[in-house]
Structure 1
């Protein structure tokens, strides 16, 4: 990455971080934001970070929803955030799963987290400085992808015993708590 690329970003997992993870959400009306997600996203945007969704969506490869349905759900998540004053800069998803039932998506790829392909693509597309960026998600795959891409990480966990294990940089109870961790270090 060249020195002129100074965009700082927060790579946000979608399900379980921004919106409630209730399985394979195929209908926009079923989308509900996680508690404090809009507050946390707003604080990060206010701090000057680009907000980029990076989401594994294996339900597409499993045949539970189509790409069009996934687009509609993603648009709903972004609309709910926009209603609360938050703008998502870009959204990336991986529809692949090697053992999926839809042949077109049942492939190995470099974009399915924990691989860092989505983050690296976003960095290229948007001029993001990965060393000045963070990845936030509720799964180990999110953290692993962030570390592989060279970002700092925050894992969203509701387990008070979980405080980091050398794989994650930080842990937080929700996106607002993650935002406080990140902004205190910037």
Structure 2
């Protein structure tokens, strides 16, 4: 069995975008908005060199909420992979949940098992790719990422600076991460220095 580092996408691999029309900070809604965060290709390389598969597990309800078309979602996904490949970096696999309980698109309006905070995406990846979850990590910028990772039996890293409100929520939601890092490059260092034999 292999070990993996599961990565949330937006806010971990690529920058979050402020969408003025909607007044929200969210995923990129267009290909031109996609920007890889500094240090990400290097971090992915460090993780691969340490023997980890690097797998994206991400809630992507943009199509369900009609923020973008399925074609645009696929174009953004492909652009991310292309941008990483320009730096000799790669993702081993991608698992996305496109559902949302309040979706505007009827086919995607669902309370599913794959949407984080449930661990369904990680379990699916584990089953399909023969991943040992107990030797793996979940890295994300939200509490749902931490809950999903813990639910699957992974160690967890929260990307972002800890804030008092977030501290309280982490306790209430049983979502305290094992580590908190400022970015994926710092998280890669933590993972390498805390390898599970």
Q: What TM-score do you get using the length of structure 2 for normalisation?
A: 0.86
Q: In structure 1, what is the Cα distance between the partners aligned to 2:157 and 2:70?
A: 28
Alignment of 1:22-37 (within 5 A): 22=17, 23-37=26-40
| Corresponding residue of 2:183 | 174
Q: Does 1:114 align with 2:107?
A: no
**Aligned equivalent of 1:18:** 13
Moved more, 67-76 or 154-163: 154-163
Between 19-28 and 99-108, the greater mean CA deviation after superposition:
19-28
How many residue pairs match? The answer is 181
Give the conservation status (yes or no) of the 8 Å contact 1:45–1:86. Answer: no
- Supply the distance in 2 between the matched residues of 1:160 and 1:46 (Cα, whole angstroms): 33
Under a length normalisation based on structure 1, what TM-score does the superposition of the two structures give?
Answer: 0.91
What is the alpha-carbon distance in structure 2 between the residues aligned to residue 50 and residue 24 of structure 1?
24
After superposition, give the CA deviation of every residue in 1:127-185 in whole Å (9 maximum; x if it has no partner). Answer: 10101100001011011000001110101013477788672111100000000100001
Q: 1:88-132: per-residue Cα shift (whole Å, max 9, x none)?
A: 111111111111111110111000000011110010110101011
Aligned Cα root-mean-square deviation (Å): 1.7
Cα distance in 2 for residues equivalent to 1:123 and 1:168: 21
Correspondence 1:144 to 2:147: yes
Are 2:45 and 1:66 equivalent residues in the alignment?
Answer: no
Asked if structure 1 preserves the Cα contact closer than 8 Å seen for 2:10 and 2:27, the reply is no
Structure 2: 5+ residue stretches without partners: 18-25
**Which residue matches 2:107?**
104
Matched, 1:123 2:118: no
Structure 1 position 35, deviation (Å): 2.2
Alignment of 1:90-101 (within 5 A): 90-101=93-104
Could you list the runs of 5+ residues in structure 1 that have no partner in the other structure?
1-5
**Structure 1 residues 66, 51: CA separation in 2 closer, same or farther (over 3 Å shift)?**
same
Q: Provide the rounded CA distance (Å) in 1 between the counterparts of 2:163 and 2:109.
A: 36
Separation in 1, partners of 2:155, 2:27: 28
> Is the Cα–Cα contact under 8 Å of residues 54 and 118 in structure 1 kept in the other structure?
yes
Deviation at 1:77, TM superposition (A): 1.2
